[in-house]
Amino acid sequence: MTPPNAPHASPFKLPLVAILRGITPEETPAHVGALIEAGFDAIEIPLNSPRWAESIALAQQQYGDRAWIGAGTVLRNEDVDTLADIGARFIVTPNTRPSLIRHAVERGLLVVAGFATASEAFDAIDAGAQVLKLFPAATYGSGHVRALRSVLPPHVPVYVVGGVSPATLAGFLSQGAAGAGIGGELYRPGQPLETTQTQAAEFVRAFQETQG
């Protein structure tokens, strides 16, 4: 069960962000389509993927009316500008960089800002980040989420990323996480489409089991 002080401001209908690190433009349409069919409505393509701008533009053109298409591992203002120009709707950062967060907000992007400590979280919020990303979640554990939630503003969602599996998802949500970003446990470069479909269904099922 979700604790009473848990945030309820997640921008995504299904609070699970699919992270397609390493995907190519040739693979993007099929895998993004499969994830959306499974129930995901937030797709992140990290910028350390090959030809990421092409993949993100393709995903936005084909599925932008059905899902949030965004980018991860965003570190530079010029990449924020490129993303805004090709229609991305959100960025995910691996760290807390207030100047980058402010620039992305000014360009109209939702910012999911990476952090580890309360100090970093408040710096990100002050810069305009609308969502926080605790990384690596498996290292810090669900108790860290609960401790952070006791001091962070309740309207700011905290997503957990890094080592979250269908088996551990409920534990993080029960301690106040609003959702999770799912990377290698969902998608690895070159994997068959059927694997993406199967693992997406497992995560959706795990989330649904926490809701009732």
Question: Is 13 annotated in the active site?
Answer: no
Alpha helices in 45-111 (DSSP H): 52-63, 77-86, 98-106
**Marked catalytic residue, from 27, 44, 120, 185:** 44
Alpha helices in 87-192 (DSSP H): 98-106, 118-127, 137-140, 142-149, 169-174
**Marked catalytic residue, from 26, 37, 106, 133:** 133
Tokens encoding 165: 């599996």
- 91 beta partners: 71, 111
Tokens encoding 132: 């926080």
Is the bond into 136 cis (omega within 30 degrees of 0)?
yes
What are residue 13's phi and psi, to 5 degrees? -60, -50
Q: Judge contact between 136 and 176, C-beta under 8 A.
A: no
Question: Is 44 annotated in the active site?
Answer: yes
Contacts of residue 170, Cβ cutoff 8 Å, sequence gap at least 6: 206, 209, 210
Helix (H, G, I), strand (E, B) or coil at 146: helix
Q: Residue 175, exposed/middle/buried by CB under 10 A (0-12, 13-18, 19+)?
A: buried
Write out the catalytic residue numbers.
Answer: 44, 133
